């Protein structure tokens, strides 16, 4: 199936906007659909303004994330929502049933569309995390700032690599605990003495400063705090400078807060 990365639709007039019924708009902005799953046949939606079909595709973003293809008299409209369009993901998308048919409009996730940064693959990023932990065998505790939706694979691979379960405070981080209990329950533990812990992102610098200060006051080895990120502050410089440098993150970096 054509996508923005392989065969974009021809340029459209600036004033041109895709026609959409209220039902289409509601469906398009949904992160997931109870009626649709990736790989299932198209769903026919009856609408007063004209019936249309909805086909779901894997968005490769987080568990349950979907892209939606709407088709009807208005044409073919692809709404990616948040997505991670790797080469493998694009190649896995099925072709439209008619070779002459193409996507008329694309609502594309453009979070990094204007960035000149080169990102490592998910596999390489997780490898960096695991390698960083191996290089700090004396760290009595490892705090993984991976409580956001879409980071479950990183926690699973760390747990598997070290044969250890990961502690998530159910009271402090109920959403993360609930999500992992459904996606990868085998890696969870309620035991706070586990070496591996999930740390929440809000007020991260304050949390890191407090944890490191406590270790220093007790004259204990420093704990290891890892936060995988694709944001500009991972480069320890302004985003404009990062863009000019076009860096590739191949090794972990440490900021002034010890993260």
pLDDT of 12: 31
Domains and CATH numbers, the chain: 22-107 (no CATH), 122-245 (3.40.50.12650)
Locate 73 and state its tokens: 């008299």
The helix/strand/coil state of 125 is helix
Q: Which long-range contacts (CB under 8 A, 24 or more apart) does 206-212 make?
A: 208/143, 208/257, 208/258, 208/259, 209/257, 209/258, 211/143, 212/258
pLDDT of 240: 53
> Given the structure tokens 């996507």, which residue do they identify?
103
- Residue 43, pLDDT score: 83
* Angle, CA 111 vertex, CA 250 and CA 116 arms, to 5°: 50
Place of tokens 């250890």: 164
Q: What is the pLDDT of residue 207?
A: 86
pTM for the full model?
A: 0.65
Instruction: Return the structure tokens found at 178.
Output: 């609930």
Phi, then psi, of 230 in degrees rounded to 5: -110, 5
pLDDT tens by residue, 24-72: 433 333 333 445 666 677 888 888 888 899 999 888 888 788 999 999 8
Predicted pLDDT at 132 = 94
245 membership: H or E segment, kind and range: helix 239-245
What is the DSSP code string of 132-190? HHHT-TT-S-EEE---STT-HHHHHHHHHHHT--EE--TTT-HHHHHHHHHH-GGGEE-
The backbone region for 50, taken as left when phi is positive above 0, alpha when psi lies in -120 to 50, beta otherwise, is left
Low-confidence ranges of the chain (pLDDT < 70): 1-39, 95-101, 115, 231-259
Cα gap 119→110, rounded to integer Å: 15
């Amino acid at each position: 199936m054509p996508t923005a990365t392989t065969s974009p639709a021809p340029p459209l007039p600036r004033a041109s906007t895709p026609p959409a019924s209220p039902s289409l708009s509601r469906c398009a902005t949904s992160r997931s659909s109870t009626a649709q799953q990736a790989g299932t046949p198209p769903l026919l939606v009856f609408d007063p303004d004209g019936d249309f079909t909805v086909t779901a595709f894997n968005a490769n973003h987080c568990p349950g994330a979907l892209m939606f293809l709407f088709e009807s008299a208005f044409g073919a409209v692809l709404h990616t929502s948040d997505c991670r369009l790797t080469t493998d993901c694009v190649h896995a998308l099925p072709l439209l049933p008619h070779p002459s048919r193409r996507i008329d409009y694309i609502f594309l996730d453009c979070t990094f569309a204007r960035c000149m940064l080169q990102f490592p693959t998910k596999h390489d990023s997780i490898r960096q995390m695991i390698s960083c932990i191996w290089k700090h065998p004396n760290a009595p505790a490892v705090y993984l700032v991976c409580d956001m939706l879409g980071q479950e694979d990183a926690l699973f691979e760390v747990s598997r690599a070290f044969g250890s379960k990961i502690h998530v405070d159910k009271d402090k981080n109920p959403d993360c605990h609930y999500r992992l209990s459904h996606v990868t329950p085998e890696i969870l533990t309620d035991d706070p003495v586990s070496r591996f812990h999930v740390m929440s992102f809000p007020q991260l610098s304050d949390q890191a400063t407090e944890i490191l200060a406590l270790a220093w006051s007790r004259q204990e080895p420093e704990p290891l705090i890892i936060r995988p990120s694709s944001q500009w502050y991972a480069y320890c410089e302004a985003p404009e400078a990062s863009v000019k440098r076009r860096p590739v993150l191949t090794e972990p970096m440490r900021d002034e807060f010890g993260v």
